[in-house]
Amino acid sequence: MPYYRVTGEIPRKRHVRFRRPDGGLYAEELMGEEGFTSDSSLLYHAHPPTAIVKSEGLDDAAGAGAVPNHPLLPRHFRTQELPAGGDLVLGRQLLMANDDVRISFAAADAASELYRNSTGDEAIYLRNGAARFESVYGSIDASAGDYVVVPRGTIHRWLPSPGDRLHALVIEARGHIRPPRRYLSASGQFLEHAPYCERDLRGPGGPLLADGEDVPVIVRNRGGLTRLSYAFHPFDVVGWDGYLYPYAFNIGDFEPIVKRTHAPPPVHQTFEGPNFVICSFCPRPLDFDPEAVPIPYNHHNVDSDEMMYYVAGDYSARKGSGVGLGSITLHPSGFTHGPQPGAVDAVIRGLAEGRTTTDETAVMIDTFRPLLLGPASRRAEDPEYAWSWARAARA
Ligand SMILES: [Fe+2]
C-alpha cells in the first residue's frame, strides 16, 4: 500500500514492552512482504497469533480442472447463467487461471468462514450487492463497484448484507497487487497524473475484537486448502500501524484519461500484479477529434490474453455479439480482436446525433501468459461468440 496508517493503540516505539490492562504483554506480529525488505505492518494481539490446535486438509474442488484454450477460440462466458449461492471464499467458480493469477466468479449470499490466502494478494471486484469485509486489521464496508484488495496472509471473512447476493469477480494473484508503479513518486505518493489517489482509498476502520476459542481459519497455500484451528480468535488486535493492509477503491472514483483520438487500455490501468494488469473502463467523453474513430481499432497484443467483464452501461464495441451485462469475454493471444463490424458506423452516427459520451463500465485483466479455462467457463460458454465478427461482416 502506498501510505502509512495507524489504528487503535500502539506503543511509542517498535518492539518495546506493550502491556494489556491485566499486566500481561500484547503479542506483537509483523506482517511483511518480501522477507523484511518491503512494506509491512506491526499488529498487537491480545493473544499469541501462533497458537494453533488442529490442522485438517480440505478438498479443493474449485481449483481443479483447468485446461488449455484448445482449439484456440475467442470466448464468451455468461456469468449470469452460473449457479448462485454459497459464500465468497468456498463458493468461487474458477473461470480462468495460469501460474500468475486465478480468476473466479461468485454469486454469494452466505457469510464465509475465516480465510487466509497465503499464495498471494487478492482483488475482489463487487459488481453488485453490499458486504462487510472483516479482518485482523478491522472492517471495510464494501458495495457495488468496489475493488477490495486483500494482502497475502490477511485473515478475513466476507459477510454479505442481509438479503443481498454479491456478484463478484475474484482475482487471486501469485504475488502482490499494487497501484501501477508509474503513478507513484519514489516514496510511494500518487502523482498528479494518476487517475486516482490516496483520498479515493478506504482502509479498515478501528480495531475489530472478537472472542472465541478453537477458531477455524481456512488457509490456502500452494498445497491446497487447510482448515487450521486457532486457540484464540484471530480478531484480537488492539492496534496496528504500517503500510500493509486491505483497502477498497470504487471504480466510480477512477478519473478517466481521454485523448483526442483513441487511447489504448494502459490509460485505464488501475492495478498491476505479477505478469498481469487490471484496468477499469469507466464512463467518459468519447474521443473528440472531428475525424476520430471513437472506439477501439482491431488489435492483437501478441504477448497477452485479455479478459473483459462487462459490469454496467452499454459497451458499444461489442454490439451484436451477444455480450450483455455480466458477460465475460476472453480474447487470447493468437487471435486479432476488435469491434463487431458495424459498431464503428453506429457510434459515428450517434456522435452526429449528440451522443458524445459512453456509459460503459468494464473490468479488464490482461495476462502476459496464456489463460487456461476453468470448469465454470466451460459451463457458461456461448458457443456462437467466436463467429460473431464473420456473421456481422457477411450480413
Ligand atoms: Fe482488446
pLDDT in tens, 185-227: 999 999 999 999 999 999 999 899 999 999 999 999 988 999 9
Give distance in angstroms: CA of 299 to centre of ligand 1: 6
In angstroms, rounded to a whole number, what is the distance separating the alpha carbons of residues 350 and 360?
Answer: 15
User: Which grid coordinates belong to 92?
Assistant: 468461487
CA distance 227 to 207: 25
* Å from CA of 269 to ligand 1 middle: 13
CA of 337 to the centre of ligand 1 (A): 6
Calculate how far, in angstroms, residue 59's C-alpha sits from the geometric centre of ligand 1. 36
Supply the pTM of this predicted model: 0.96
Distance 368 CA to ligand 1 centre (A): 13
What is the 107 CA–ligand 1 centroid distance (Å)? 26
CA 377 to chain centre: 18
Q: How far, in Å, from the CA of 138 to the mean position of ligand 1?
A: 38
Q: What is the rounded average pLDDT of the residues 363-373?
A: 98
Question: Using 50, 70 and 90 to split pLDDT, how confident is the model at 140?
Answer: very high
Residue 73 pLDDT exceeds 70: yes
pLDDT > 70 in the chain, percent: 99
Average pLDDT, the chain: 95
Contact assessment for residue 329 and residue 305, using Cβ atoms and an 8 Å cutoff: no
Residue 123: burial class (beta carbons within 10 Å; 0-12, 13-18, 19+): buried
Q: Sheet with 166-173: list strands edge to edge.
A: 201-202, 247-250, 146-150, 122-128, 166-173, 101-108, 93-97, 372-373
pLDDT value, residue 85: 93
Residues in the chain: 395
Between the CA of 64 and the centroid of ligand 1 the distance, in Å, is 28
How far, in Å, from the CA of 264 to the mean position of ligand 1?
9
The answer to whether 166 and 129 are in contact (CB under 8 A) is: yes
Dist. CA 336 → ligand 1 center (Å)? 9
pLDDT band at residue 62, thresholds of 50, 70 and 90? low
**How far, in Å, are 84, 89, 248, 368 from residue 126 at the CA level?**
15, 14, 11, 24
Q: How far is the CA of 104 from the centre of ligand 1 (A)?
A: 20
* Mean local confidence (pLDDT), 137-142: 98
What confidence score (pLDDT) does residue 206 get?
Answer: 85
Q: How remote is the CA of residue 291 from the centroid of ligand 1, in Å?
A: 22
Q: Give me ligand 1 centre to Cα 300, in Å.
A: 8
pLDDT at 153 over 70: yes
With cut-offs at 50, 70 and 90, classify the pLDDT of residue 28. Answer: very high
CA-based nearest residue to 121, from 156, 86, 93, 91: 156
Evaluate if residue 60 carries a pLDDT over 90: no
Q: In the structure grid, which three cell numbers stand for residue 100, read together?
A: 500468475
What is the C-alpha to C-alpha distance for residues 287 and 161, in angstroms, rounded to an integer?
39
Distance 129 CA to ligand 1 centre (A): 28
User: Average pLDDT of 119-145?
Assistant: 98
pLDDT tens digit string along 312-334? Answer: 998 777 777 899 999 999 999 99
CB 115 within 8 A of CB 157: yes
* Ligand 1 mean position, distance from CA 187 (Å): 33
- What pLDDT sits at residue 13? 98
**Terminal Cα distance for the chain, rounded:** 51
For residue 316, the CA-to-ligand 1 centroid distance in Å is 13
Instruction: Using the predicted structure, report yes or no on whether residue 1 has a pLDDT greater than 70.
Output: no
Q: How far is the CA of 302 from the centre of ligand 1 (A)?
A: 11
CA of 306 to the centre of ligand 1 (A): 6
